[in-house]
Amino acid sequence: MRRRLSFLAIALALGLAPAAAVHAASPEFRKWAESLPPNGWKLVEMNDGAGFAVFVKPPEPKETRVRLWTRYELMKPDAQGMASWVDYYDFDCANRKMILLTEIQYGANNQLGVLHTFDKPGEEKFVVPGTEGETLMKGACSPASTAWGATVLH
């Protein structure tokens, strides 16, 4: 079963929550998570209870839209052999819509060994209040994301 990025991790990554809100990971898990090469990604959550670490890339402004990458690393592969995956989202900030553009699943950590690629975007949907999508959108479309060097266009 795939785990999704927590609201807290998204909020932390995008500057919408204080860093003090992160729970402490066990020393063993922290060592594993911090050993993963960031390769331009920002480590935003270590969840040793669920066995995964989450990374994000800075939002990318695209005309009146914003795009955001998220990366998930599992300490142990799931039942299907997946150990890592990335999602790429596109947000229409003004109209509160989003779409998952692509997802790539890997058999090893650090985005190695592609298992599946899903790059046929689905239908653009309105962002539902109180969901992961809204948290992602608020962060990606927020002026706080400019701290990452992005200029968000509204």
pLDDT band at 154 (very low <50, low <70, confident <90, very high): very low
pLDDT of residue 97: 94
Digit-coded pLDDT (tens) for 15-72:
544 443 345 578 888 888 888 888 888 877 777 777 778 787 777 766 678 888 888 8
* pLDDT of 9 higher than 60: no
| DSSP secondary structure, 54-110, as one string | EEE---EEETTEEEEEEEEEESS--TTS--EEEEEEEEETTTTEEEEEEEEEEEETT
For the chain, give the mean pLDDT: 76
* pLDDT of 13 higher than 80: no
The pTM of the full predicted model, rounded to 2 decimals, is 0.70
* pLDDT of 129 higher than 50: yes
pLDDT of residue 149: 40
* pLDDT of 1 higher than 50: no
* Average pLDDT for 77-95: 91
Amino acid at 134: E
23: Cα within 13 Å, side-chain hemisphere:
11
The dotted CATH code for 7-148 is 2.40.128
| DSSP secondary structure, 98-145, as one string | EEEEEEEEEEETTTEEEEEEE-S----EEPPTTSHHHHHHHHHHSGGG
Q: Tell me the backbone φ, ψ of residue 88, rounded to 5 degrees.
A: -125, 115
